[in-house]
Amino acid sequence: MSTARKKFKLFDMNRDGKGVDPGEDTTPNLRFFFKQLARKFSKIVSLNILMIFQVIPILICIYLYVFASPTTPTQYYPEYAALFGIQEAASTATGAVNMGIFSFQLGLPTYNTYVYWVIGALLLLLVLTYGWQKVGSIYVMRGLVRGDSVFVFSDYFYAIKKNLKQGFVLGLIDCAIMFILGYDLFFFFNTEQTGFTNFIYVMTLALIVLYIIFRFYTYLMIVTFNIKITKAFKNALIFIVLGIKRNVMALLGLVVVTALAIIPIMLFLPMGLGVALVLPLIYYLGVCAFIYTYAAYPVIKKHMIDPVVPTKTEPDEEEAVTE
């Protein structure tokens, strides 16, 4: 029995983790980051199992669109219709050669089919539950960053229940902003390149980077304080500047982790090793969340908690602090 418990220790979501040693320097710097990451890694992987539902609907939608979407054969070259008419009127060897060259067809998606109804339903489900999934995961991650006693599964759903309304509304707003920024990026990337469109494209990229940093703080403040969403947005904008050093380090960390996730896929997938696609799903979301929560929480603590609660408090007492 004891052997079996040790075997599945990594995925025990309600097992308490190793705490901080008494007298240890817990200054939230880069050195302590790696200590805490190693110490809490099993918990992070366990939380990642819950966080994966934030991307599973998207992965299923991509698979359905690429591999299961009905298509209609469509001629790629506009010259094909004229060549076909000429060949029908007077067939020649030259015309046959040209027909072979210009007869390439594309499979264009056929809309209003069951595949798109399924895709729409999955995306709707993701949008409606996204905020709840985020507040649950960020609440647990905050506890891991602070070194609290964390029980992944129960704490996750406790945070959802506690922030049911605000999590739902914030999730809708978040998804809407991400959709608009993503649509703008795609639109200006594919539009005709001019000085104006290139400028808008660069500005869109800058807004996306700023919004990534902005998101470091919004959900974290919602689960930490009794605070309105508008106030959380205002504070998050301020923290983009006040926490600039930690924000930049977090962005660099996200880039490194993303590169480490993509490189094995590029190396092993051409060899037919599909496991390369699965490996990042085991740790990627959890490690990224740990990085930006570790960067953002000390900024929030310095400017919103310490001025009001100068002494060390218990987690429940801290949550009662308002801004």
- The domain boundary, picked from 109, 133, 167, lies at 109
- The domain boundary, picked from 53, 86, 109, lies at 109
Note whether 144 and 94 are same-domain residues.
Answer: no
The pTM of this model reads: 0.80
Which structural domain, as residue segments, surrounds residue 90?
Answer: 73-109
Alpha-carbon distance of 77 to 21, in angstroms, equals: 69
23 within some domain: no
Q: Taking the CA of residue 110 as centre, how many other CA atoms within 13 Å lie in the half-sphere pointing to its CB?
A: 12
The angle subtended at Cα 87 by Cα 82 and Cα 90, nearest 5°, is 120
For residue range 10-61, list pLDDT tens digits in order: 445 555 555 555 567 778 889 999 999 999 999 999 999 999 999 999 999 9
125 within some domain: yes
For residue range 214-233, list pLDDT tens digits in order: 999 999 999 999 999 999 99
Of 247, 81, 252, 50, nearest to 158 by C-alpha is: 50
For residue range 178-207, list pLDDT tens digits in order: 999 999 999 998 888 888 889 999 999 999
Residues in the chain, how many?
323
pLDDT-derived band of residue 317, with 50, 70 and 90 as boundaries? Answer: very low
17 within some domain: no
Note whether 63 and 81 are same-domain residues.
Answer: no
Note whether 290 and 266 are same-domain residues.
Answer: yes
144 touches 17 (CB < 8 A): yes
Tell me how many domains the chain contains.
Answer: 2
Give the N- to C-terminal CA distance of the chain in Å, as an integer: 50
169: pLDDT strictly greater than 90: yes
Note whether 52 and 180 are same-domain residues.
Answer: yes
Tokens of 212: 């990534």
